[in-house]
A and B are shown apart, each in its own frame.
Chain A
Amino acid sequence: MSLNQKRRVFLKGSLAVGALGAAAGLITPGAVLAAWNKNAFTAKSIDEAIAASNGQPVTTPSTDITIKAPDIAENGAVVPVSVATKMKGVDSITLLVEKNSTPLSAVFHLPKGTLPDVSTRVKMGKTGDVIAVVKANGKLFSARKGVKVTIGGCGG
């Protein structure tokens, strides 16, 4: 069995016991909610959201951050986005969607030694950039990638 297959079997298993796990207190919603940064996730502008999640709004554009996202979204409600970087000492990766009314989508806090490579799905109301902010050794770096959200149809 390959690694991928094992992972899939594991995921299948964990999905099935997920509800049980939560009930048994293994994963408590409270613990998740405790980390919920309300100011950051309800911020209306990019700068506010970055400041509220990372302490300050100024970032340095970097080509060492790779954002993987479709050029045109197949479904704006669930756009798969991955962010990876080769930088050392990464503390967190923050994902923002430029044109959403509340731009902050996710903040990943990476414990020391974690490979800085995260994936999630974001909701996108309309065409715009996905922005990734990487906090490494206390400094903020950023990159963007355009994703088009279209009504579709009319293909050749």
Chain B
Amino acid sequence: MTISRREFVRLMGLAGAAGMLPASAFAAARKPSDLYEIPKFGNLCLMHMTDCHAQLNPIYFREPSVNLGIGKARGKAPHIVGKAFLEHYDIAPGSIEAHAFTYLDFDNAAKKFGKVGGFSHLATLVKRLRAERGDGNSLLLDGGDTWQGSGTAYWTRGKDMVGACNLLGVDVMTGHWEFTYLDKEVISNIADFKGEFVAQNVSVNDDALFDYKFADFAGFDEDSGLAFKPYTMKSVNGMRVAVIGQAFPYTPIANPQRFIPDWTFGIQDERMQSMVNHVRENEKPDLVVVISHNGMDVDLKMASRVSGIDVIFGGHTHDGVPRPVEVSNKGGKTLVTNAGSNGKFLGVMDLDVSKGKLKGYRYRLVPIFSNLLEADKEMQTYIDKVRAPYKDKLEKKLAVAGETLYRRGNFNGTFDQIICDALNKVNDSQISLSPGFRWGTTVLPGQAITMDHVMDQTCITYPETYRREMTGEEIKAILEDVCDNLFNTDPYYQQGGDMVRVGGMDYVCEPGQTMGKRISNMTLDNGSKIEARKKYMVSGWATVGSQSPGRPIWDVVADYLKEQGTVKIKKLNTPKLVGVKGNPGIAG
């Protein structure tokens, strides 16, 4: 059963009358006749989208059932899932918000409430809020991971998204996966983007400065060596708002450096502090905000070390966090948000600002339900036009989902398992490895798996597959390395992805251990022990160091799916976890 907009409004009215509505973030709207009725507050409104991963059309997206926090992060936002999440944020089970923010009863709720996201639906909400707040009283900020994640983004090298963002009216953005196209393509996309691209933590490296190929690019500053404009000043309802950019600090490590050899990144929190000081001293700002692609844990640490930032609008870790976290530092307090992924949410912060002081705020992370927001015609026409040349290819049905297919979570999702199984089958290997990205949409049971879905899960600019022998010791080293990037107790040593997905093997994982001691008891699917010195045939994709020789992963997965008919996962190679009992970051 799907629920129409009219039906929804009626149900909400009934619930309200019967006193059934919880005192949740949403119920803060006293008369919830409309999910999108967001009361005005203060004098300016900052809208924030992030990590849409090029999802132009509405999709399904299942939130994680495993998002463990280790050490000081245990049980704290964003490391809370399922029922613990609902309790923490006081959200009623079974409600539309419960569906938006958690994986609970996912299949039924997804059928009931329908798809999420979609740029034409998002455009309707953005236009409405802009109109309600009044001309010139709002900004639309984009945290990045916007130009990558769909077949059309891949084939147009991000241009389809630049066009969509121009139409949507994005004012300022920063990036991460934007940097996975060739450097000259990044520069060209930024030139076509009508808003501003900011990043205080991307420099041109010393060698490249001698003869920099983009010396004419407007954002480049030879004196500071910064490759992009670090911040911009915007006038919003007469207030001076500084927007500083923080790109993903580990881009050349998590993604290929070979596409962007001249640029060096890093967290650069000392430079962030001097940038904030510079802005505060020279620009007379009323408000200083950062659009960050650090990931939430890194943002929380950075907010405790850097003072003078009013709000950090965060992304990267794809955490749908309903309430900002207030972080204390020696300058006062900094608010930290994270706004989910795949176009599912729009963060809306209304602020009361005057004479250089933030006096109060209201924040809502608003889910975009496409059945409840009419499609904006202009945007839909644009999307249809962009997709037209690829439509037949993308909508080709490859198989039918026999169960919910998803990726998001610290360990193997069911769609990852398909990718791993496809690699082992098509490449005739014993073990397969697949990256723990946090993007990739969800397919409901009974739904056709199309090429669109396969591209949603796989389309990167380094999709080539490999097949080679590795020793048990090498396999363990890879698992330990990635696991430390996920569970190191110091967020500055994390990269923000999830654990590498495996096929054909199992292992035991103790996230609370230290580097080199988390992984044990590695066995093949047949139960035999994986030995350190013995060699195994391994296949995988997404090699960062150099280009692999094999076919793109999406062809391998499509070939496999075509032979399946209805896909059911025979075995999910998710590790046995040790020491996480009672952790609110895992389904109980």
Do A and B assemble together? yes
Chain A interfacial positions (CB closer than 8 Å to B) = 2, 4-5, 8, 11-12, 15, 68, 70-75, 127, 146, 148, 150-156
B257, A74: Cβ atoms closer than 8 Å: yes
Whether the Cβ atoms of A154 and B437 lie closer than 8 Å is: yes
Contact assessment for A154 and B493 in the assembled complex, using a CB-CB cutoff below 8 Å? no
B458 to chain A, nearest CB (A): 14
Q: Is the beta-carbon distance between A5 and B223 smaller than 8 angstroms? A: yes
- B93 on the A face (CB < 8 A): no
Q: Give the chain B neighbours of A2 by CB distance below 8 A.
A: 222-223
B298 nearest CB neighbor, chain A only: A71
Give Cα A5 to B498, complex, Å. 42
Using Cβ atoms and an 8 Å threshold, which residues of chain A touch B223?
2, 4-5
- Mostly helix, strand, loop or mixed at chain A's interface? loop
How many chain B residues touch A (CB < 8 A): the figure is 47
Which residues on the A side are within 8 Å of B495 (C-beta)?
A: 72, 150, 154-156
The 4 A-B pairs with the shortest beta carbon distances in the complex, nearest first, are A155-B254, A154-B435, A156-B438, A153-B544
Distance, CA A125 to CA B580, complexed state (A): 32
Tell yes or no: B253 within 8 A of A by CB.
yes
Q: Given that A11-B210, A150-B481, A150-B485 are contacting pairs, would A155 and B266 also be in contact in the complex, using a CB cutoff of 8 Å?
A: no
Closest to A147 in B: B493
Q: Which partner residue on chain A sits nearest B436 by CB separation?
A: A154
Residues of chain A within 8 A (CB-CB) of B209 are 8
Flag whether B515 is at the interface (Cβ < 8 A): yes
B-side interface residues toward A, CB under 8 Å? 176, 209-210, 222-223, 225, 248, 250-255, 257, 264-267, 270, 295, 316-318, 435-439, 477-478, 481-482, 484-485, 488, 492-493, 495-498, 500, 515, 542-545
Within 8 Å CB of B544, what residues of A? 152-153
Inter-chain CA distance A13–B495, complex, in Å, is 39
B257 touching A155, Cβ below 8 Å: no
CB <8 Å contact, B493 and A74: no
CB–CB A12/B210 < 8 A: yes
Best-surrounded residue of A72, A151, A155 (most CB of chain B within 10 A): A155
**Contact status B485-A154, CB under 8 Å:** yes
B318 — which chain A residues lie within 8 A by C-beta? 156
Max chain B C-beta neighbours (<10 A), residue from A71, A75, A151, A153: A153
B residues within 8 A CB of A127?
A: 515
Interface centre among B318, B493, B496 (most CB of A within 10 A): B493
The CA of A18 and the CA of B494, in the complex, are separated in Å by 41
> Which of chain A's residues have a CB closer than 8 A to the CB of B497?
154-156
Contacts of A148 in B (CB 8 A): 484, 488, 493
Q: CA separation between A41 and B586, bound complex, in Å?
A: 50
A4 touches B222 (CB 8 A): yes
Contacts of A154 in B (CB 8 A): 254, 435-437, 482, 485, 495, 497-498, 500, 542
